[in-house]
């Protein structure tokens, strides 16, 4: 009798325990990520998705992208209740080894849910406005090898500056201000060798953050972003570099930057003509470089 009673109590306890565990089980749902235009971030960084629930971010998981642009994962398992009440999806760039559970400032894409779908865009990259009306001009001149107040040295084909020539030159970039975690960067593309940076910047009416290649007479240059190409040529490049006929690019880069190469966002692209300043060259909007996609819950 005692043994039977003990056995009955044990079975009763087991049944109650199982019922309690079942009640505590979290219901899960699938979140499908359909994105194109992303690129390989290398070994040190990954993409991470987030849903915004009651104003707070909830991670949906990380993924990588190979050199062909294919995502390592496109379906993620998420708390069903949180997913149902989520208002927005956000995609960020995070360190592969990330001690911080919160999203990084480098938020790349976002979109609000309408029913089961969120169409994502570049809203988080800018602090106001968008790239729809982005435009700009640039000119060829080499102000950093000129003594202040002197005439130019007749070698203006070796420098590129983002603006309109004058005394001093003025900004010629129509771009939105960037959110924290992003910077603009200028590039000159040398066919068969690669892109050569002109430096990163966040403002359009001051010098940029690099003058590594500029001349020695007036090394700072005018109060706009740009670069002359006289000194410290990287491996594979030959200086002075003639910019005429070359592709000139303005990209948007994560900060801190995960690569010395241009990031996938290249809102402005132009081709330098054969004439130097006072002639100017136009940038064109390069919307094809912007990633797109939908998120389905």
Kindly state the percentage of the chain with pLDDT values over 90: 82
- Does position 15 have pLDDT exceeding 60, yes or no? no
Region 240-252: mean pLDDT is: 98
| DSSP string computed for 258-297 | S-SSPPSEEEEEEE--S--TT--EEEEE-GGGS-EEEEE-
Mean of pLDDT over the chain: 90
214: burial class by Cβ within 10 Å (0-12, 13-18, 19+)? buried
Q: Is 2 helix (H, G, I), strand (E, B) or coil?
A: helix
Mean pLDDT of 78-102: 96
pLDDT tens column, 16-30: 333 344 456 889 999
Q: What is the pLDDT of residues 168-224, one digit of tens each?
A: 999 999 999 999 999 999 999 999 999 999 999 999 999 999 999 999 888 888 999
Model's pTM, two decimal places? 0.87
Query: How far does CA 80 lie from the centroid of its chain?
Result: 30
Given a cut of 50, whether residue 10 has pLDDT beyond it is no
Q: What is the distance between the alpha carbons of residues 86 and 58, in angstroms, rounded to a whole number?
A: 9
Q: Mean pLDDT throughout 106-125?
A: 97
Question: Within a 10 A sphere around the Cβ of 62, how many other Cβ atoms?
Answer: 17
Cα(153)–Cα(216) distance, rounded to whole angstroms? 13
Say what the pLDDT of residue 150 is: 64
Neighbour tally for 140: CB within 10 Å: 27
Under the banding of pLDDT at 50, 70 and 90, the label for residue 79 is very high
| pLDDT tens digits, 26-67 | 899 999 999 999 999 999 999 999 999 999 999 999 999 999
| Spatial separation of the C-alpha atoms in residues 141 and 229, rounded to whole Å | 10
pLDDT band at 259 (very low <50, low <70, confident <90, very high): confident
Dihedral sign (CA 102, 106, 108, 113): positive
Asked if 96 and 84 count as a contact pair (C-beta separation under 8 A), the reply is: no
> Residue 3 pLDDT more than 60?
no
Cite the beta strand spans of the chain per DSSP E. Answer: 28-36, 45-53, 56-63, 75-79, 88-95, 107-114, 117-120, 135-140, 159-161, 163-164, 170-171, 173-174, 182-190, 194-201, 226-228, 247-254, 265-271, 281-285, 292-296
Question: Is residue 278 reached through a cis peptide bond, with omega within 30 degrees of 0 on the bond before it?
Answer: yes
* pLDDT tens per residue, range 126-169: 998 899 999 999 999 999 998 766 667 889 999 999 999 998 99
Question: Band of the pLDDT at 14, cuts 50, 70, 90?
Answer: very low
Residues 155 and 227 sit within 8 Å (Cβ to Cβ): no
Angle at 196 between CA 193 and CA 202, to 5 degrees: 155
């Amino acid at each position: 009798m005692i043994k039977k009673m003990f056995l009955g109590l044990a079975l009763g306890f087991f049944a109650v325990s199982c019922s309690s565990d079942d009640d505590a089980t979290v219901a899960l749902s699938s979140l499908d990520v359909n994105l194109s235009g992303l690129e390989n971030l290398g070994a040190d960084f990954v993409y991470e998705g987030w849903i915004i629930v009651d104003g707070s971010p909830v991670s949906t998981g990380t993924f990588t992208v190979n050199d062909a642009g294919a995502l390592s994962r496109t379906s993620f398992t998420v708390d069903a209740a949180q997913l149902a009440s989520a208002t927005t999806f956000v995609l960020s760039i995070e360190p592969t080894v990330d001690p911080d559970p919160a999203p990084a400032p480098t938020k790349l894409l976002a979109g609000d849910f309408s029913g089961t779908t969120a169409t994502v865009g570049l809203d988080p990259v800018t602090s106001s406005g968008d790239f729809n009306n982005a435009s700009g001009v640039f000119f060829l001149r080499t102000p950093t090898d000129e003594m202040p107040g002197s005439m130019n040295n007749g070698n203006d084909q070796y420098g590129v500056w983002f603006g309109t020539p004058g005394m001093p030159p003025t900004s010629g970039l129509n771009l939105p201000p960037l959110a924290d975690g992003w910077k603009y960067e200028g590039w000159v593309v040398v066919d068969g060798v690669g892109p050569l940076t002109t430096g990163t910047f966040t403002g359009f009416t001051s010098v940029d953050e690099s003058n590594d290649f500029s001349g020695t007479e007036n090394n700072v240059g005018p109060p706009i972003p740009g670069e002359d190409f006289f000194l410290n040529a990287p491996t594979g490049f030959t200086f002075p570099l003639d910019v005429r006929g070359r592709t000139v690019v303005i990209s948007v880069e994560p900060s801190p930057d995960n690569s010395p190469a241009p990031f996938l966002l290249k809102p402005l692209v132009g081709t330098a003509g054969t004439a130097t300043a006072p002639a100017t060259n136009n940038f064109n909007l390069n919307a094809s470089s912007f990633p797109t996609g939908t998120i389905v819950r």
